[in-house]
Amino acid sequence: MKWSIPMGRVWGIPIRMHLTFILLLLWIAWLGWTVDGLHSSLWAVALIISLFFCVVLHELGHSLVAMRFGAHVQSVTLLPIGGVASMRSIPEKPYQELLVSIAGPCVNAAIALALMAVRGGYHALDEQTVFPTSVGSLADALVNANLILAAFNLIPAFPMDGGRVLRSVLALFLPFSRATALAAALGQILAVGFVLVGLMTNPFLVVIGVFIFIAAQSEDKTVRMKSLLRDVLVGDVMVTDFVNLHPDDTVARCLENVYHRKQEDFVVEFEGRLVGVVARKDWLDALHRGGAGTSVGDIMRKHFISVVPKTPLSRLYQDLWHLKQGVFPVTDEGKLVGLLTTEDVSRYLMVQAIQQNSKAGAHARPPGDQPSSRFTVDLG
Ligand SMILES: [Zn+2]
CA of 126 to the centre of ligand 1 (A): 28
Looking at residue 128, its pLDDT comes to: 65
Looking at residue 222, its pLDDT comes to: 81
| pLDDT of 362 over the 50 cut | no
Nearest of 276, 338, 268, 272 to residue 303 by alpha carbon:
276
CA of 201 to the centre of ligand 1 (A): 23
Print burial letters for 361-375: b (CB count within 10 Å at least 16), e (below 16): eeeeeebeeebbbbb
CA of 125 to the centre of ligand 1 (A): 25
CA of 27 to the centre of ligand 1 (A): 25
Give how far Cα 273 sits from Cα of 25, 133, 338, Å.
54, 68, 14
Peptide bond connecting 366 to the previous residue in cis, omega within 30 degrees of 0: no
Lowest mean pLDDT among 120-124, 181-185, 216-220: 120-124
Q: Are 1 and 18 in contact (CB under 8 A)?
A: yes
pLDDT classification of 140: cutoffs 50, 70, 90: confident
Looking at the DSSP bridge assignments, the partners of residue 85 are 76, 376
pLDDT classification of 71: cutoffs 50, 70, 90: confident
Residue 195 has a CB neighbour count (10 Å cut-off) of: 17
| pLDDT of 367 over the 50 cut | no
CA of 212 to the centre of ligand 1 (A): 13
CA of 244 to the centre of ligand 1 (A): 47
What is the edge-to-edge ordering of all strands in the sheet holding 13-18?
4-10, 13-18, 72-79, 82-88, 374-377
Kindly tell me the burial class for residue 302, based on how many C-beta atoms sit within 10 Å of its own C-beta (0-12, 13-18, 19 or more). Answer: exposed
Q: For 14-30, what is the mean pLDDT?
A: 86
CA of 286 to the centre of ligand 1 (A): 43
CA of 194 to the centre of ligand 1 (A): 17
**What is the CA 283 to chain-centroid distance, rounded?**
29
CA of 104 to the centre of ligand 1 (A): 5
| pLDDT of 61 over the 80 cut | yes
Each residue's pLDDT tens digit, 224-267 = 877 777 778 888 888 888 888 889 988 888 888 888 888 888 88
CA of 129 to the centre of ligand 1 (A): 29
CA of 143 to the centre of ligand 1 (A): 17
CA of 122 to the centre of ligand 1 (A): 24
Pick the more confident residue, 90 or 71.
Answer: 71
Full-prediction pTM beyond 0.85? no
Q: For 1-7, what is the mean pLDDT?
A: 79
Q: Are 187 and 148 in contact (CB under 8 A)?
A: no
- Strand 72-79 vs strand 13-18: parallel, antiparallel, or unpaired? parallel
Lowest mean pLDDT among 13-17, 191-195, 297-301, 323-327: 323-327
Measure the CA–CA gap between 148 and 176, rounded to whole angstroms: 30
How confident is the prediction for the chain on average, in pLDDT? 83
Q: For 53-72, what is the mean pLDDT?
A: 89
Give how far Cα 169 sits from Cα of 108, 182, 230, 293, Å.
22, 12, 22, 58
CA of 134 to the centre of ligand 1 (A): 29
Q: Could you give the maximum distance between any two Cα atoms of the chain, in Å?
A: 78
Peptide bond connecting 159 to the previous residue in cis, omega within 30 degrees of 0: yes
Nearest of 51, 58, 80, 211 to residue 144 by alpha carbon:
51
Looking at residue 373, its pLDDT comes to: 45
| pLDDT of 371 over the 60 cut | no
Pick the more confident residue, 104 or 373.
Answer: 104
Nearest of 151, 121, 125 to residue 138 by alpha carbon:
125
Lowest mean pLDDT among 190-204, 279-293, 322-336, 348-362: 348-362
pLDDT classification of 323: cutoffs 50, 70, 90: confident
Q: Which residues fall within 8 angstroms of residue 98, CB to CB, at 6 or more apart?
A: 164, 165, 168, 169
Q: How many CA atoms lie within 13 Å of 233's alpha carbon, on the beta-carbon side?
A: 8
Residue 225 has a CB neighbour count (10 Å cut-off) of: 23
